[in-house]
Amino acid sequence: MQRTEKWVIMSRPGDYAGIGKKYGISPVLARIMGNRGVDLSSENEVRDYLSTEPLSQDEILVSARSMKDMDRAASIIKEKIKLGKKIRVVGDYDIDGVTASFILIKGLRKAGADTDHRLPHRIRDGYGLNFNIINEAKDDNVDTILTCDNGIAAAEEIRLAKECGMTVIVTDHHEVPFHLNGEERIEDLPDADAVVDPKRSDCNSAFRSICGAFVAYKFILSLYDEMGIDIKEAGEFLEIAAFATIGDVMPLKNENRRLVREGLKRLKHTVNPGLRALISLNSLEGKELSYYHVGFVLGPCLNAAGRLGDAEDALELLLSETPDSAHEKAVILKEMNDSRKSITEKGVEKALEISDSDRYENDTVLVIYLPDSHESVAGIVAGKVRERTGKPVFILTDGITSDGAECLKGSGRSIESFNMFEEMTAVKDVFIKYGGHAMAAGLSLPKEKLSEFRERINMNSSLSKDDLAVKIKIDMELPLSFVSFDLVREIERLEPCGTENEKPVFAARDISIRDMRVFGTNRNVLKGTAEDNNGGRVDCVYFGTDAEEMKDYIEDRERAGEGLKILYSPGINEFRGSETLQIVLNGIR
């Protein structure tokens, strides 16, 4: 089943002309900002959004101090360092867990801590803390476990660690497990010595949607401040936290946006040998790095280690101290990522074949078992199937629990109208383990529970056809004659664009496209010239595997005398030192 689309023009009333005049911007930019959730009635919020001031470490420290248990956690670790106690960092195997571990390891070492680390193996251990990791720590005479990007859902494991006499500090960013007492939602916090998680209902963070690496960075700033270490010493971690913010698909709002903007600038000149090697190996050296480069080129290389091998390879890349050792690790990660791409493509093809079968016709939530796939790519496959079908998707494959029992493991990716974590909590008795948030989750369950899980998650679903129609949000209708270099330059003030701060999308009607040609190695690029009835004219380009079919469709409409409706994003095409205006076509009807 192919997804259905619903084009929706965002309609937020406002005096955009007046707002534009007040802040020296165009009414178009004012409207786009309003569409991104900027409170245009708040001068502070508008000026903050338009500001290019970097997010300072002093500002980050202030926001860190507002977090519940942050001061307590820093105080405990300060005392452990003073007493020479052994501290073990327990991270995770994805990009956020690896980068968060790097920040804590390096930060603790600079503070003089006796520290080591443990990253769970995706296949042998599964996500986050488990009993084996706790028992290993006991055998190794570890005094304190410090988690990052995990721990909030590890109540039983933390209880064992406490029984073994260990101190446990959780730093995480995932949703807090809860149970219902009637209609009252009661959070089930683990019994750790400190629990730092912005998703706690009693956390005073002004902005809660940050990644695990950003929480770790804030913790190190707090620790340094507690110990009298100049917080500038933590400056190298800012770009790492920004890298993870993109890689873990956090919303580019509030402090995340400012963090990423500054982090991308620093990445271009990073002194980290591992990142330098990875950037060079992907032919990005000396280039202005963007959200795309981190999210779709560099980030997947770090993730590939935890998917197909051992996340230690990714962590060792970041910890590399020489160019030679860094290059060696970067080559391994890039090769793993190339292999991951091939495995993913096969998984997506099979999953779509299953979802198109008759027995899945009435399922509004897809629960798909792929016995021949690799559990490490389940999340990527789920995301791509969701993009193609518009439905929430769980991809499951064969796995093994931490105690060696056979099970099913997988990942889920959701849509806006389906809170995946809460829907899973409603059927939590079918799982061995689960966790995540509204849009994504990880899970394991007994094989015999597969049918029950699929049946119950669909039985509880109230998703309608309208919910399943992918809503393409359009900023406004904008005739082609409005596309100019000035408009494109002004739109650049929205950068960095990404999750929840997307590049603007405009609509235009009664369009014809002339002089079309398809080219590219895979015949996936369609270029032409878009024209409207008012004399607007601009070069256009469409990217897609269906470029040939799209050309035929446009020509058929042209012969029938029917004008097109298009969605587009304006930009500048640079070729051999020359700049020309161009629009990228996002949709054609």
If one looks up domain 57-237 in CATH, what number appears?
3.90.1640.30
- Non-local CB neighbours of 145 within 8 Å, separated by 6+ positions: 87, 88, 90, 129, 134, 137, 161, 166, 167, 168, 169
3-state helix, strand, coil in the chain (%, to 5): 45, 20, 35
If one looks up domain 5-10+471-588 in CATH, what number appears?
2.40.50.140
- β-bridge mates for residue 511, sequence order: 564
Domain borders along the chain are 5-10+471-588, 57-237, 356-468
Q: What is the pLDDT of residue 252?
A: 95
Q: What is the pLDDT of residue 2?
A: 63
- Low-confidence residues of the chain: pLDDT under 50: none
Q: What is the pLDDT of residue 123?
A: 76
Please provide residue 207's backbone torsions phi and psi, each rounded to the nearest 5 degrees: -135, 125
pTM (2 decimals)? 0.88
Pick the CATH number of 356-468 from 3.10.150.10, 3.40.50.2000, 3.40.50.10860, 3.10.310.30: 3.10.310.30
Tell me the helices (H) and strands (E) count for the chain, helix number first: 22, 20
Total residue length of the chain: 589
Q: What is the pLDDT of residue 1?
A: 54
What is the tens place of the pLDDT at every residue in 71-113?
999 999 999 999 999 999 999 999 999 999 999 999 999 999 9
* In contact, 114 and 85? CB cutoff 8 Å: yes
* In contact, 87 and 113? CB cutoff 8 Å: yes
